[in-house]
């Protein structure tokens, strides 16, 4: 069987985990957590960053930091993972979905302004497949209407928009190190990136159960006490140890994935030229990370047939998100503003091809052959 995804293992993970265990300090904010955060400061110029237990909890923290309360509204695409909406819905916010662009599957920036009301607090762009949303346009709207921007950069490690790192353009950036992402911290993990010191100081407190423990440990206060709301959002140092091994090989992982992505893109071009399928679109000023390789068929019937056809040949090529506005919880917590011209249609005709670090060349040939064969027979 050719799986859709395989969790990345670089080789040094066990050594670091063993060292963390032997050091006797495996609680959060240990040696490896600090090393990971330093890595992001040095390599990414993410001055204010904190490891978290997941992208979902990074988004939860964002909603707390922005003091989202019942009745507030946030704007995002419906074509996203549940956590993007859930983290704000759980604070009582009303989710306002806007349509996506058919080319990148990202939120259509030109639809955002019409969804703004007096209650709007934030815009949440999701960088689908590690391809950036139109951040200049979105940041301008946010500035003009005095709104916050939280980037759901779950899939966007290593990605850039006009030379700028995704996750560092808005007020807050949220990354995922889940097992299915390009880099993982032992299966579950995340990162919170803050754009300024004020947000960072409060994030440190929220992440440490609402206490000033972090300041206390740094000798900046003589008492350790409850100072704000919060919870436990810091990962075990064992997770960080796993992650560090991957961060040290970030370029290697990225270029390996990009090679696989580029091979799909060049070998599938004849199918695109004949109008049978559509391939991903990457704007010239965006650097992506080969998180995903998706194709779109002419309609959902064909894509369903392909998903079945490939699985019968032991190749897993799944569908992606069911648009949230049509989900049971979505019906309760959200409204779709404007016309759903692309969200439902474009997502229904999409399938994702297997892609992961060190994917076998012959396996990739089998996936490509399977797709050609399918197109020939339909």
Ligand X SMILES: *Cc1c(COP(=O)(O)O)cnc(C)c1O
Number of amino acids touching ligand X (CB under 6 A): 14
Q: Are 159 and 184 in contact (CB under 8 A)?
A: no
Measured from the CB atom, is 233 or 374 closer to ligand X? 233
Among residues 132, 125, 138, the alpha carbon closest in space to that of 80 is found at: 125
Interface of this chain with ligand X, residues 131 to 170, rule: CB under 6 A: 152, 154-155
Task: Tell me the closest approach of the beta carbon of residue 224 to ligand X, in angstroms.
Answer: 29
171-230 residues in contact with ligand X (CB under 6 A) are 176, 178, 190
- For ligand X, the closer of residues 3 and 270 by Cβ is 3
Residue with Cβ nearer ligand X (80 or 211) = 80
**Burial bucket for residue 13 (CB in 10 Å: 0-12, 13-18, 19+):** buried
Q: Which is nearer to ligand X, 134 or 268 (CB)?
A: 134
* CA dist., res. 156 & res. 18, Å (int): 29
Q: How far is the CB of 233 from ligand X (least distance, A)?
A: 12
**Which of 17, 50, 55, 192 forms a contact with ligand X (CB under 6 A)?**
55
Nearer residue to ligand X within complex by CB, 106 or 344: 106
Return the beta strands (E) in the chain as ranges. Answer: 48-52, 73-77, 94-98, 120-123, 148-152, 160-161, 164-165, 172-176, 190-194, 277-278, 286-287, 293-297, 334-336, 350-353
55 CB-side CA count, 13 A: 27
Footprint of ligand X on 57-116 (CB under 6 A): 80-81, 83-84
Does the protein bind ligand X through residue 56 (CB under 6 A)? Answer: yes
CB of 36 to ligand X, least distance (A): 15
**Contact residues for ligand X, defined by CB under 6 A:** 54-56, 80-81, 83-84, 126, 152, 154-155, 176, 178, 190
């Amino acid at each position: 069987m050719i799986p859709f995804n395989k969790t990345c293992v670089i080789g040094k993970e066990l050594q670091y985990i063993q060292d963390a265990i032997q050091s006797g300090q495996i609680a959060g904010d240990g040696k490896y957590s600090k090393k990971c955060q330093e890595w992001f400061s040095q390599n990414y110029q993410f001055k204010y960053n904190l490891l978290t237990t997941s992208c979902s909890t990074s988004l939860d923290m964002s909603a707390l930091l922005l003091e989202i309360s019942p009745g507030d509204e946030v704007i995002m695409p419906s074509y996203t993972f549940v956590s993007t909406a859930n983290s704000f819905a759980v604070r009582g916010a009303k989710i306002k979905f806007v349509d996506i662009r058919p080319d990148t599957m990202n939120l259509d920036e030109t639809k955002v302004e019409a969804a703004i009301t007096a209650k709007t607090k934030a815009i949440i762009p999701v960088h689908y497949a590690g391809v950036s949303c139109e951040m200049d346009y979105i940041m301008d709207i946010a500035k003009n209407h005095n709104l916050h921007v939280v980037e759901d950069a779950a899939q966007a490690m290593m990605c850039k928009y006009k030379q700028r790192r995704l996750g560092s353009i808005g007020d807050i950036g949220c990354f995922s190190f889940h097992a299915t992402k390009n880099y993982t911290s032992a299966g579950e993990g995340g990162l919170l990136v803050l754009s300024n010191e004020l947000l960072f100081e409060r994030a440190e407190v929220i992440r440490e159960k609402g206490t000033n423990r972090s300041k206390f440990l740094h000798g900046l206060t003589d008492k350790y006490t409850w100072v704000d709301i919060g919870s436990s959002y810091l990962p075990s140092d064992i997770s960080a140890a796993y992650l560090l091994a991957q961060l040290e090989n970030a370029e290697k992982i990225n270029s390996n994935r990009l090679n696989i992505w580029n091979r799909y893109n060049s070998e599938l071009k004849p199918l695109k030229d004949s109008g049978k399928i559509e391939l991903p679109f990457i704007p010239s000023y965006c650097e992506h990370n080969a998180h995903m390789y998706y194709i779109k068929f002419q309609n959902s019937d064909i894509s369903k047939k392909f998903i079945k056809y490939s699985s019968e040949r032991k190749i897993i090529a799944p569908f992606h998100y069911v648009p949230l506005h049509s989900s049971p919880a979505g019906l309760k917590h959200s409204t779709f503003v404007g016309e759903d011209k692309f969200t439902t249609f474009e997502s229904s005709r999409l399938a994702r091809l297997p892609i992961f670090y060190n994917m076998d060349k012959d396996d990739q040939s089998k996936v490509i052959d399977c797709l050609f064969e399918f197109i020939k027979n339909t």
